[in-house]
Each structure stands twice: as C-alpha cells, then as structure tokens.
Structure 1
Amino acid sequence: MRPRFPAFLPPVSVSVTLLHRLALALFLLAPCLLPTTPAAAQSPIATLSGQLSQAEADLHAVDRALDTRLDDDDRDTQRTKALAAQAAATAAATALEDQLKLVDARLGGLGAATANEAPDIRRERANLNRQRAAIDATIKRGRLAGVEAQQLVDEIDRSKAEQFNETISARVASPLSPGFWHAVFTAIPRDMRRVELFLTQGTTQIRAQWRGGFPWQALLGTVLGLALAMPIRLAVQRLGQRHLIDGAPGHRVRRSANALWRVLIGTLAPLLGATFFVQGLRWSGLLPDRWGDLLDALVLAVGFGSFTASVSGAVLMRTQPSWRIAPLDDETATRLRPLSWVLAVLAFLSILATATVRIVGVSAALNVATQAGEALLHLLLIAAFLFAIGRLRADRAARDDAVSQSTSAGLGAATLLAWILVGVALIALLLGYIGFSLIVAQFIAWATVLGSAVYLLLVAVDDIATSVFTRDSRVGIMLTRALGVRGSAVDQFGLLLSGSLRIALVIVALVMLVSPFGAGGGVDTLFGRLGALAKGIQFGGIAISPGTILRGIVALFLGLALVRLFMRWLETRYLPATDLDGSGRNSVSLVARYVGVALAVVWSLASLGIGMERIALLLSALSVGIGFGLQAITSNFVSGLILLAERPIKIGDLIRVGLDEGDVKRISVRSTEIELADHSTLIVPNSELITKSVLNKTLASPLGRIQIQFSVPLGSDAEAVRGIVLDAFTAEEAVLADPAPAVFIDAITDGRILFNAFAHVATPRAAYGARSNVFMMLLARFREQGIDIGTIPQRLELIRPDQPPA
C-alpha cells in the first residue's frame, strides 16, 4: 500500500511541546518501522512509468505507420491510437504530479538540511530527492509524449485534407466526350473477367462447403433476417406504441417517443436481419473469403438505407398525420414520401456499388463511370425533390397564410442554395470533375438525412425536458413539495436544460456533417482552412478581400438571426415561465435585444479583424501620431498600393535593391519581403522600391544572360577560338539555342585579341552555374589546343633614384 503523507508539518522549535516532539519522531521513524514502504511508494510510480512507456511505444508505432501509404480506415485507426496514447500520457503525467506533491510535502516536513543532521534523516532526504528527480523526469516525458501525439494527429488531419483536396480537384475526360466512353468500353472485357473470377471463386467455395452437410446455420440466419426485416419489426413498433409510448406523460412526449421508436426499430431490425444473414453464411462456412468484405458492406448499406427510410418516414408520418412532429400538411407528406424511399434505395446502392468496385478491383475507367452514375442519380433525385418543394411552395403562397409565408422565406433561401449547388455539381460533372460532383451531391443528401434526424432529436429533447421539468409534472410536484423549490424555478430549469442539450446536439451535428468529407479534425479544422483560403491583402493587420467582406456580412446576418431566434424563445418561452410582471419582462427583453444586436455587430467586426481595441487604437493613433509617424506610414501605404496596381515588381521576381539581390516572396501594403541567397529575409519599405532605383531582372523577360570575356595572343587562330567558344555553349544544357549564342572580337590591343561572348539561359538564377560550366570547358579545350588565354601582360621596371629615366 502507498503511504499517505501529510500535506505539511509544523516547524520544530525549542518551545514545542513533548507531544509535538513525539509526533515528529514517529513521522521520521515511520519509513524505518515499515519495511514495505519504499517498494509501496515506488509501486504506483513504476506503474505510471510503464503506462507512459506503453504510450510512447504506441506513438512510435503510429509514427512508423505514417511512413507508409495508408487508406482512410487505417488513417482513422492511427489517429485514434495517437489520441489514446496522448490521453494515457497526459493521465500518467497528471497522476505523477500528485506523487510529486506528496514527495515535496515529505521534503518540506523534513525541513532545511543542517550540518548536524541525523544519518537516518540524511538518508531519507537523499532517497526523497532521488524519487523527486525520477518523478520530475517522467512527468517531462509525459508532457513531451502529449506534444508528439498532438503533432501526429495534426499530421494525419493534414494528410486527410490533402487527400480530400486531390479528390475534388482531380479531372478526367468529360462524360460527354467520346474518349470517356471509349475507355469504359475498352475496359469492359477485362472487368467482366474480373467479375467472373470473383463469382467463380465464391461459388466454388460454396459448392465445396455444401457437400459437407446441410447448412442449417445459413438457413436459420436467412429466416431470422427476413423475420426481423418485416413481421418482427412491425410487431415491435406496434408493441412499443401500445405499452411504452402510451404511458409517456403528455401528448408531446408520446409524439416524440413514437417518432424516435420508429427510427430505432426501423434501423435496428433490418440491420440485425442483415447481420444474422451474413453471420449465418459465415458460421456455416458458405461465405467465401473474397465475399466477406462485400457482405459486410451489404450490412452497412442495409443499416444506412434503413436509417434513411425510417428517419424520413418519422418526419413525414404519411400514414399517421396525428403523430406528425414536423409542421407539414398531408399533401406535402404524400408527395415527398416516395422521394424519401428513392433516397434510401440510392444510398443503399451507392454504398454497395462503391464496395463492389473496390473489392472486385475493376478498372479505373469503370470506377470513374460508376462515380459519374452515382453523382448523376443523386443530382436527379435532388432536382426532383426541389421541384416538388417548389410546387408545394407555390400552392402554399396562394393561401395568404402569414405563418406559411414566414416559414417559406427560409425554405426559399435553402432551396435557392440547393439549386446553386446542384447546378455547380452538374457543370463540374460535365467538365470531368467527377469526384467534386459526387461529393457535392452526397453532401446534400447526407445533410438532408442528418438534418431530419437532428430535427427529430431537437424536438424530442425539448418535449421531454419541458414536460418532465415543469411545475405540474410528477418531478415538479416532488421538487416543490419535498425541497421547497419554486414552480417557476422548475420551469426555468426545464427550459435551460432543453436549450443546453439542443445546442450540444447542433454542435455534434455540425461535426458529423463535415467529418465524412475530409474534415476529420472537426469544425475548427474545416473553418480554419476556409479562413486561411480567404486571406487577402493585409492592411493594418486586417485582411481585406472579397471573402473577408462576405464573411463579415454573413456573420452580421447570422448574428441578427440568432438574436431574433433567441428573443423569440425569451419572449414566448422563458419570460412567461418567470415571476416577473409585464414591465419587468419588457425591460429584460429590451436589454437582451440591445445586447444581442451589439454582440452581433461586434461579432461582424471581429470577423473582419476589427475589434473594439483596434478602433480605440486607431483613434489614439490618429490623434497622437499624425505629426510623428503617420507621414512615413502613409508613404509606405501609398507606395504599396502603387506596387499592387502597376506591378513593376511581382512576387517571384528576381530584383536587386542596393547591394542585395533576391526573390520577392511577399508584397504587403507596408513592406515587401525579399528572400536573399543565404535564405534570410530582407524587409524593404515600399517607399524604397518606388522612390529609388531597383533592378528587376525578370520584369521584361524571364531569360538570363551569360557574358564571358577573355583574350588570346595576336597570332592565334581567331576563327578556331570562336568555334571552341560556340562548341562550349552548345555542350552546356542550360544554354538556350534561341536566342543563339554569339562571339565577338571586342578589341585588338597590346598584341592580344579581346573576345566578348554572350549566351542566354532560361532564368537569371541559372546564369551563374552555366557560366562556371562554360569556363571549365573552355579552359580544358584551350589547354588541349595550346592556346594561351589571359589578360594583357604588364611590365614592371625598377629604377634607381640616381639613374635618369630611359
């Protein structure tokens, strides 16, 4: 057992009593009297150290796995493993911090070390110091493991995002082009042979197992699957409605319970039926090895298709209008129900087709054609759904119903957005962006299914919370009578509980909405990427771009919409449940409205990068800094605008400013960043680039030029020298043939011929290396030909002071 150490000890002094001295002696002698204390004290530390070592080993395994090519499932597995290792390392470090506090408490109890300290106390102090050093080192290991785990998770998220970007940006031949169908028809014979081989291998194994005896397991699984799919499912639904739902308190709770029960049974019964069918084949040995993954995909397809059908059926309630949760009329439910069945069947077929293409291993052309067919079917179904919604809205608009018109406004905006997405996806499909089109279509379908399920849960949570926690319910009566809680407090608690749970459901729904489409890191990761893509020109630390302006407008309207929804809930639900009179309710409503509008405006400004502190800072800078630094700031700002408008210098240009030469990496409204040859960054104010001379080597032409100057003796063959130079230029790969190299005689002086040769390369950055290579070849050739090259010879004469000059 681990000894329990006191948090502190009183200091020992001469005036302490005998009882204090005795307690101190017993405390100091306790480790000597208990022989199992050291082992027991080290036991939890050793256990936590082993837990940390296991976490480090798991992280090392994840790191090694990331060196190989992983699919989506393996990547998710490694991410889960890294998160588990991070949690284990963090828990171990936290527990060791508690152990460290215990050891520090014992060291504090021993007091400061003295020269005449007892040997037992000295040994105990040394032992505690060793324990403390070991625990502290292990804690640091745990923190480092947590950081490494987070880095691995971030790397996995980045790889998933990169794969998602590759998927949506990949382009193939258009389905309208002959090349697309030529590739499909060319690959059909081989794909048919692959399918035939897949079926032959499966049927051969089934025949072999069939001779071994009657497969009663497969028959039993098939019978149970069919029974669960139809009669048992219907019977359980009726049983739940009769015994469970009818006993629920209140009509609203019974209505929500009925909808959730239909979804639960409608999803689980077919899913269990498909599971029993596959397991029966597996237990009887009739399941071929290559068919296992396909039948597992069949179970998944049945489960998701059943979930889609049951959720849409629970929302529409075509056969039970009195149990309908959504504010829909019978005509709407009747028109939309067949489309929901088509959506369920399409979801089932899509999952099964994707699995079949992957498991059978068909050609890339047939895979792309399958994806194109899935995208087209999804888009046609969505278009049919939108047409039906449009007809229903037109019929509803003729009724002059104010409530219908208010709800139709939001529905119209959502319908317009859906039409835009369908149009973009259809154009992308025709242009050959099959992956992008399929993802957009599946996203709309998944958003519809998920939105329906979340709507049911939101209504059910509100119904249950506000029905259970009310002053007239059994729980409310018990709380008011037994605990003396006010009835209004019970009602308020129910409303607050409902609001909190619904907010949590919305957050979870947002994560589930974007997770299947490359946003494994959740909402923050996705919005972080979108925010990075929307960055524009930086002006005073504020990003100015069309995306930023649109984001600010959207944030403003979204904030005002949230304020409106909150005010509706406050005025119609929460305030009537309080004990406030009309005047108090009006005051609370007005204050909440003004605060909400102010927060919406602040949120909109914050989305633009303009906070209250920035506004205050700007005002103070305008009032104080006009006479000091505003002139230089304005000059750089105007110069930055000129650079961005006239573009005498662009990102990627090779320029020379003074004695420094480098590549332009970034142009902002205040300064320009230039990367020099030593990889350092030179930050130049924009006014320096406008008011002073700047050499831009890549402005007019991207070509670079090589110039070589040398001299040979006057008796040398000038034509041969010229041929050697041209051959050297031709042998160098970096030298361009157009413009052609040229060799000129620059001058004849002091008995030597001066040559000046020119050649061009693709970029100025390649001129230095190419010039060096040409020099190396010229030196070798001239040495072979015996040609002397160099500069004009100089003669030095020494004259004595007493000797007259010649």
Structure 2
Amino acid sequence: MRLILLSCAMIGLVATGGAVSAQSNPAAASATRIAQAEVEVRAVDRALDARVDDEDRRGLRDRAQGAKDATDQAVSDLSAQLALVNARITGLGTPTPGEVEAPELVAQRKALATLRATLDAAIKRGRLAGVEAGQLIDEIDQSQAAQFNEKLSTKTPSPLSPAFWSIVLEQAPRDGRRVGLFLKQGGEQIAAQWRGGIPWQALLGLALAIVLIGPVRVGAHRLAQRRLIAEAPPSRVRRSAYTFWRVAVGTLCPLAAAFILVQGLRWAGLLPQRWTSFLDGFVFASGVAGFTAAVTGAVLMRSQPSWRIAPLEDETAQRLRPLSWVLTLLTFTTAMVGYFEGAIGSSRSAVIATQAVEALLHLLLIVATLVVLGQLRARRAAQAGEATHVGVSAGLSIATLIAWIAVGVAGLALLVGYIWFSWFVSLMIGWTVLLGSALYLMLVAADDIATSIFVRDSKVGVTLTGALGVRGSMIDQFGLVLSGMIRLALVLLALGVLLKPFGASGDPGAIFDQIASVADGIKVGNVWISPGAILRGLVVLFVGLALVRAFMRWLEQRYLPATDLDGSGRNSVSLVARYIGIALAVIWALASLGIGVERIALLLSALSVGIGFGLQAITQNFVSGLILLAERPIKIGDLIRVGTDEGDVKRISVRSTEIELPDHSTLIVPNSELITKSVLNKTLAGPLGRIQIQFSIPIEEDAEVVRGIVLSCFTAEDTVLADPAPAAFIDSIADGRIRFNCFAHVASPRAAYGARSAVLLALLSTLRQRGIEIGTVPQKMELVRQGGTTAQPAPAKDETEMK
C-alpha cells in the first residue's frame, strides 16, 4: 500500500511540473526495489522461525544479503535524487516577505518540497530495511556458529565401551537395507538401459576420463617444462610458473575426468535419479583430491628437485611424498563416505561410527608424519651439531609441539566420546597443512612475479625509465611494495578460509561479503576511504605528476630558452613551477578521494601550531628559499663567500643551497643562513674580477720607472683587461720607503688568483734584473734593560726578514 501511495505521489508531482520529471522514474524504481527488499526481508524472517538445515540457512543468508544490497543501492540512488532536489530548492531561494510570487514559482516550490519529503521518507524506509536485513544476516551467522559449538560439545559413549557399538549394531540392519535399496535401484536402472543397446556415451566418457588422468596430465607437465626451459629466461618466475602449472593441471584433470565420466553416464541414461547427489559429490571429491595431490607434489617436487620452491632436502621430499598420497586418499574417501551417507540416509550411529574411524585414520597419518619429521631432524642434528640444529629449527619445533598437542587432545577426545570434536580437529590439521602449502606457493609466486616484472633491468622497468623517466630505485621499491601488498592480501584471505568454521558464518560466501564490505570503504569523518578510492587517487596522482613532468620538459626545453632570462633566472622559474605543479597534482589526487581544498586548509590550520614549533627551522629555510628564488641576491654560477668558505653556487632549492668549493667538495648551506647573515657575492654587481698588488721600494729608487715596470707587467699578462685599464698608485711614503698600491681587472673573479700570481712573478723578475729592492716598511726593535736604560738598537730589518 505504501508503495502505491509513493508511486502515485511521484506521478502527481510529475504532472505538476516538468522540471522534476527527470527525477521521478529513478525515484519510483528505487522505491520499488525498497518495497521488494522489505518483502524479501519479511519472508526470510518468517523462514527463520522454523528449524532450517545448513543448506537452507545458506540460501536464506543469500536472500537477506541480496535484499541488503538492493536497499543500499536504492538509498544511494534516492540520496542522489534528493541532492538534486535540494539544489533546485536552493536555487529558487527564500520568498521575499511582502512580495507576491508568480503562481508558477509557488507551484514549483510546493512540488519540490513535496518531492523532497517523499524522497526523504523513502530513504529512511530503505535504511530501515537495510538494517533489518543486516540483523537477519547476523542472526544467521550466529545460529551457524551456535550450531557449530553445539556439535563440538556433543558427547557420545566412548568407542571403547560396548554401549557405543551396541547402538551401531542395533541400527546396522536398517542401514544395510538402505545400502541394498540404493544399490538395487541403481543397478536395475543401469541393467534396463544396458539392454536397450550399447551405452556409447558412458564408454566414451570413461575413455576420455582415462586419457585425461593419464596421458594428458603427464604430457602437459612435460610440455610446460620443455617450453619454459627453451623459451623463458632462467629466473624465479619460470620456477613459479611451472609449479602453478602443475597445480592447475593436477587439479583440473581429475576434476574434468570425473565430470566427463558422470556426464557420460547421465547422457547414456545410466545415472539413477537417487545417485545424482552422490555422483555430483564424486566430481567434487575428485577435484579436492586432485588439488591435494597437486599442491603437496608441487611443494615436495620429489622427482624434480631443481624445480623445487620449498627449501626442502631431497631425503625429506622422498620420505614425505608417500604420506602425501595417503592424505590424498583419505581426503577422497572422507568426502565420498559423507556423500554416500547423505545419499542413502544413514542413521546417526552409523555417521558417528564412520567419523570415529576417519578421525582415527587421520590421527594415525598425522602421527606418522610427525615421527618422520622427528627422525629427519634427529639425523640432521647428529650431522650438524646440537647448537646449530636448535637455532635453525626453533620455529619448526614450536609447530611440531603444537601439532603433537592437537593430536593428543583429539585422541583423548575420541576415547572419551567427543567424536565430532576429534573428527573436526583431525580434519582441520590436514586442511591447515594443505592450505598452508598452497599459501606458501602463492606467496613465493607473488613475490617472484612482482619483483621480477617491476625491476629496473626488466622490460617493464626499461620502458618506465625511458618513457616516463622513473628512477630505477623507484621501480625496485614499487615491486617490493606490490609484492608485500599482494602477499598480505593472500594471508588475510587464507586466514578467513581457514577460520571460517570458528567465525560468524561457515559459508565461504560470507568471507567474500566481508571483503566486499571492506572494498566499499570505511568512513573517516565525512570522507569514505576504500581500496577503489585509493587506487583512483593513485592513478590521478600519477597522471598529475606525468602532466607536471611534461609541462616542465616544455618549459625548460622550449619556453625558457626563448626568453631573456639567464641560467639562474630559468632555474628559479623552473623550481617554482615544479613545486606549484606538484602541489596542484596532490590537491587533485586528494580531491578525487573526496578531500576538498577546504578540508586541506582545515588540516593545515590544525597543523600550524606543530609547524610553528616542531618544524620552525624547516619552514624558515623554505620561506628563505622562496625569497632567494624571487629576489635572486644569489644566483646559480655566482662566486660567493660564506664565512671562511668561498665557492661557486651550483644549485638553489627551497631548503638549501649547494656551493662547490675549490677542492671540488660541496658545501650545503641552509637558505636561512644566506638570508639572515652577511654573504659576499663577488659576481652580483658584474662579472669582472680585480687584481690588487701592494709592495714598497726604497725612497732612493725612481718611482716613475717602477710604475712603468708594473704597468708593463700588467699589459704583458693576457688575462688582464685593457678596459678598465690597469693602474698603479703611490699609496704613501713612510719610514724611507715608497708604498705602491696597484690594480688591474680580469674577465672573472675566478681568474684573478692565477693572473695575480703571474703578474707577481713577472714583476719580481723584472725588479731583480733592475737591481731594485722590493719589500715592506722597515721596523726598529729596541731592547730595554731592567734599570730603565736603552740597549743598543738592533739593526733595522724588513718585515719579510723577520720570523
């Protein structure tokens, strides 16, 4: 009734105005889905009032999950429609008091308000139906767990007591008649069909099954090995590929053979109706047995040790391989016995008796395996020494101890009468070994594939390096991270499969439902974070960085060379553009996750206090770097002196500046040091360098001649510039000497040191040839005695002669 009213209301709204017609059909369809989900939820709720078995419980859970998914989707669609309606209402604005609106606007506003109320009510109904469906799913899961706990705690008479076997013998005649009737019905149908002619379909199915089990399986193994050796490069991937090929062939061939055999019987009409479930179980058991044999064989690799992934010795593989075949046989037999008992309707006592026998056989197999492992460990310990043995086998010792404890508990439970518990524990040990073996193979293969494909020397690595300019180390790191993520996902999935009987649901579909719920995402504040959103954000970030890289290549190679900027100016523009581009790419990636600029600003404001105290130095250097790039008091290529260090500026970033010293070492100076302290920039005002030479001559010498000699030495040096012209000045006359101060310019400050040395060598040589003494102002030294008299003054010496 509510669905009819809701649909009529929406149809009426469409008639009132065409502006909302685009929203009526989706809303009506969503309301219909919600109504159907409510009906489905009530049906599941009524069905749970009666007693249901495991198969019916799984079906009810699927129905409840489907209703929940339908309501979630409908609520999502209705929420989108409600957002559109709210946007239109906001666009209409608030009526102005005292002003009469047009009738069309009044009708439109009323229709939108009614539609908003209707959509809001439908959304609330959908959310309520979703909550009810979720509660039913939890109830089903809890009932499954309660039934599992009930089975664990069920106690029967001990198999060692006469009471146990008396009950079995009491029900044995009835079970025997059930077996006889089952075989009789099947035999009569087979005999009747056989008299009608040769059942060639069944014979063909049997022939194909034999071919698949024998020649096809063996030939597939040999073909894969030859192709991998001949074509694949020698690497770990080849070994992992061959291992998985063995598992796939070893599982699919028995499964396909059993399916073809049963299908041939069905096509020939030889399959009795009562045998359908039993033979379907035969197909499933064949696949499980094939998987068991294939996985254990791939781990042991007894006949091909060079292809073995697991770090096992040949002797260990030889001793464990027969036990793996016993495990395969027990797995197949246990499954077939269960299907057979279900097909004939065995009594509860017969089921308990078979479970006791199966538990005993599994426990004996586990004990035999532990004994073999213990013998191998003892032999290795005798060969390698006790200390080495304990250190290497510590983890294996713990696992062995846990296995012995589990076997002891299961054996004791079997003797006491907790047969289902013992049966379950023994099967769980075998299932754990099988699942652990398969998980180990998958973990090794995932690591081999990820770290072999994403490596700098691979084809993918070379392509990424050449096309996108990605560094080789980043490719190696990505391969390792990808391997870790895949292996973590495999471990979590394996744990979910292993622990499903202990969880909320024994249905494997529940595991995938949980994975799907994780894939839907989790809500952090007002933002939904999901694996898909993270992947989308990474893709957007990758695309954004690629665009920034392409823009920077165009800017640095095409645009900036066409400008009048020098190298330092180009570097400043390039750095600022790069950081702005990276910031925009990050903001774009965050926006794809639903994190808007306003949230980023809120986060930055929340972090401002921490930045002010904990990151003060980094922030100061960052701001100083921006000032250096904008004002450019220091440019790339400048010759500067910071403290006692002098060198060429090679790189200016937003955090620090790199200076190459004359000894070719690199001095990294924080940008704040260049802004807040004194820095000598020798090339800021101009590119020229200056030579200064100071010396003195005796006052008796001709100063004009000496001046001419100095100027001629300047002129003779090639690196000295004619413009500005060299100059020689008399600085002072003191103590009987004439002091000269001479200047000349060279093309660069870097050439001043060499040019000054060359001029000095020429000047000294010329003055020596002319017999002109060069030195500094002479100084006198007087010795004062203790009595106050002055001693004989020492002869005057030039400063250059004093030590």
TM-score, normalized by length of structure 1? 0.59
**Alpha-carbon spacing, 1:138–1:455, altered in 2? closer, same or farther (3 Å):** same
CA–CA distance in 1 between the matches of 2:507 and 2:280? 27
1:34-67 CA-partner distances (Å, limit 9, x unpaired): 9976543211111222222232222222222212
RMSD of Structure 2 on Structure 1 (CA): 2.3
Partner of 2:302: 318
Partner of 2:159: 175
Q: How does 1:228-377 map to 2 (within 5 A)?
A: 228-243=212-227, 247-377=231-361
User: Per-residue deviation at 1:223?
Assistant: 1.7
Letter in 1 for 2:471: R
1:699-755 CA-partner distances (Å, limit 9, x unpaired): xxxxxxxxxxxxxxxxxxxxxxxxxxxxxxxxxxxxxxxxxxxxxxxxxxxxxxxxx
Greater alpha carbon shift after TM alignment, 407-416 vs 109-118: 109-118
1:558-613 CA-partner distances (Å, limit 9, x unpaired): xxxxxxxxxxxxxxxxxxxxxxxxxxxxxxxxxxxxxxxxxxxxxxxxxxxxxxxx
Query: What SS does structure 2 have at the residue aligned with 1:352?
Result: helix
Larger radius of gyration: 2
Partner of 1:609: none
CA–CA distance in 1 between the matches of 2:470 and 2:169? 76
**Alpha-carbon spacing, 1:349–1:33, altered in 2? closer, same or farther (3 Å):** closer
The answer on whether the counterparts of 1:511 and 1:522 sit within 8 Å (CA) in structure 2 is no
Partner of 1:422: 407
Partner of 2:491: 506
The answer on whether the counterparts of 2:145 and 2:506 sit within 8 Å (CA) in structure 1 is no
Partner of 1:107: 89
Partner of 1:137: 121
1:449-498 CA-partner distances (Å, limit 9, x unpaired): 00000000000000000010001111111111110111000000000111
User: Per-residue deviation at 1:311?
Assistant: 0.2
Letter in 2 for 1:418: A
Letter in 2 for 1:253: V
Letter in 1 for 2:284: L
Q: 2:32 aligns with which of 50, 55, 63?
A: 50
Letter in 2 for 1:127: A
Q: How does 1:356-435 map to 2 (within 5 A)?
A: 356-400=340-384, 405-435=390-420
User: Per-residue deviation at 1:184?
Assistant: 1.6
The answer to whether the aligner puts 1:146 opposite 2:130 as a matched pair is yes
User: Per-residue deviation at 1:128?
Assistant: 1.2
Partner of 2:69: 87
Letter in 2 for 1:416: L
User: Per-residue deviation at 1:68?
Assistant: 2.2
Letter in 1 for 2:164: F
Aligned residues: 495
1:344-388 CA-partner distances (Å, limit 9, x unpaired): 100000011111112211222211110100100010000001001
The answer to whether the aligner puts 1:440 opposite 2:389 as a matched pair is no
**Alpha-carbon spacing, 1:147–1:511, altered in 2? closer, same or farther (3 Å):** same
Query: What SS does structure 1 have at the residue aligned with 2:498?
Result: helix
Q: 1:161 aligns with which of 142, 145, 151?
A: 145
Letter in 2 for 1:270: P
CA–CA distance in 1 between the matches of 2:17 and 2:127? 33
CA–CA distance in 2 between the matches of 1:312 and 1:481? 43
User: Per-residue deviation at 1:519?
Assistant: 4.6
Q: How does 1:184-203 map to 2 (within 5 A)?
A: 184-203=168-187
CA–CA distance in 2 between the matches of 1:512 and 1:76? 16
Overall identity of the aligned pairs, in %: 56
User: Per-residue deviation at 1:522?
Assistant: 9.3
Letter in 2 for 1:192: G
User: Per-residue deviation at 1:424?
Assistant: 0.5
1:143-163 CA-partner distances (Å, limit 9, x unpaired): 112211111111011111111
Greater alpha carbon shift after TM alignment, 265-274 vs 396-405: 396-405
User: Per-residue deviation at 1:221?
Assistant: 1.8
User: Per-residue deviation at 1:121?
Assistant: 1.1
CA–CA distance in 2 between the matches of 1:109 and 1:274? 67
Query: What SS does structure 2 have at the residue aligned with 1:174?
Result: coil
Partner of 1:772: none
**Alpha-carbon spacing, 1:367–1:245, altered in 2? closer, same or farther (3 Å):** farther
The answer on whether the counterparts of 2:156 and 2:417 sit within 8 Å (CA) in structure 1 is yes
Query: What SS does structure 2 have at the residue aligned with 1:173?
Result: coil
TM-score, normalized by length of structure 2? 0.59
User: Per-residue deviation at 1:122?
Assistant: 1.1
The answer to whether the aligner puts 1:63 opposite 2:45 as a matched pair is yes
1:737-774 CA-partner distances (Å, limit 9, x unpaired): xxxxxxxxxxxxxxxxxxxxxxxxxxxxxxxxxxxxxx
The answer to whether the aligner puts 1:520 opposite 2:502 as a matched pair is no
CA–CA distance in 1 between the matches of 2:214 and 2:46? 49
Letter in 1 for 2:50: T
Letter in 2 for 1:109: G
CA–CA distance in 2 between the matches of 1:91 and 1:32? 23
The answer on whether the counterparts of 1:245 and 1:257 sit within 8 Å (CA) in structure 2 is no
Greater alpha carbon shift after TM alignment, 269-278 vs 66-75: 66-75
Query: What SS does structure 1 have at the residue aligned with 2:134?
Result: helix
**Alpha-carbon spacing, 1:215–1:372, altered in 2? closer, same or farther (3 Å):** same
User: Per-residue deviation at 1:511?
Assistant: 0.5
The answer on whether the counterparts of 2:212 and 2:257 sit within 8 Å (CA) in structure 1 is yes
List runs of 5+ in structure 2 lacking aligned partners: 1-12, 512-803
CA–CA distance in 1 between the matches of 2:168 and 2:201? 41
**Alpha-carbon spacing, 1:329–1:185, altered in 2? closer, same or farther (3 Å):** same
The answer on whether the counterparts of 1:222 and 1:280 sit within 8 Å (CA) in structure 2 is yes
Query: What SS does structure 1 have at the residue aligned with 2:393?
Result: helix
CA–CA distance in 1 between the matches of 2:229 and 2:81? 53
User: Per-residue deviation at 1:306?
Assistant: 0.6
Partner of 2:466: 481
The answer on whether the counterparts of 1:476 and 1:487 sit within 8 Å (CA) in structure 2 is yes
Query: What SS does structure 1 have at the residue aligned with 2:274?
Result: coil
Q: 1:490 aligns with which of 464, 475, 480?
A: 475
